Amino acid sequence: MSAGTPDDYFAFMGIDRELLIDTRMLEQRYFQLSRDYHPDFHTDASEEARQTSLDNSSMLNRAYHTLKDPYDRARHLLALESPDVAEAQRKQIPTSLLMEVMEIQETIAEARQHAGLDADPERAEALRGIHERLQTKLNNLRGDLDLLAHEWNAVAQQSERSHKEPILKRLNELLDTRNYLRTLLQTVEAAMHGTPAPRH
């Protein structure tokens, strides 16, 4: 692989570049390749062959743990299919969360200004409500991901980029939203417990 190009874990595991995969089949491939690549089976090989075995074994573990998680699998597929997605674009606040972010920032600022949540039960309740809404949004993303996965699998083997690009764009938005929701949840939880906001 050239510099900046991610390893293709789908190809390494010998499976199609799809979002909906048979996880039992993935596990079977993992155990099969584990036997092929495990260094203990190459003790009599040359130094170069043993190093290759170690490298393959390490990559196998990364590939398996990435592909078995639906969100990590989606992020990996996006890196392979749309490596030109700008890093700055990934860090933008998702439009759907703009109002939520403003409300959170205002509530946290007011709580800190008024000597914490213990002295301000109304704002403490407001933060609990925000936390609950954010957690619900985060949980609901899994259903959205499954819908996108079905759409992607329907066009995955086609060569037409015009069919894939809209799905990849929505997939990127979903993953960005998930990352931002997790950051917001950590920020709200820190405010609820009176600890410094996490640095990201």
Backbone angles phi, psi at 148, to 5 degrees: -65, -35
Q: Can you tell me the distance from the alpha carbon of 82 to that of 125, in angstroms, rounded to the nearest whole number?
A: 42
State the architecture of 9-68 in CATH terms: Orthogonal Bundle (1.10)
Q: For the whole prediction, is pTM greater than 0.75?
A: yes
Residue-by-residue pLDDT tens, the chain, 200 positions: 434 457 999 999 999 999 999 999 999 999 999 988 876 665 666 777 667 778 888 999 999 999 999 999 999 999 999 887 645 455 567 777 888 888 888 887 776 676 555 556 777 888 889 899 999 999 999 999 999 999 999 999 887 888 899 999 999 999 999 998 998 899 888 888 777 766 65
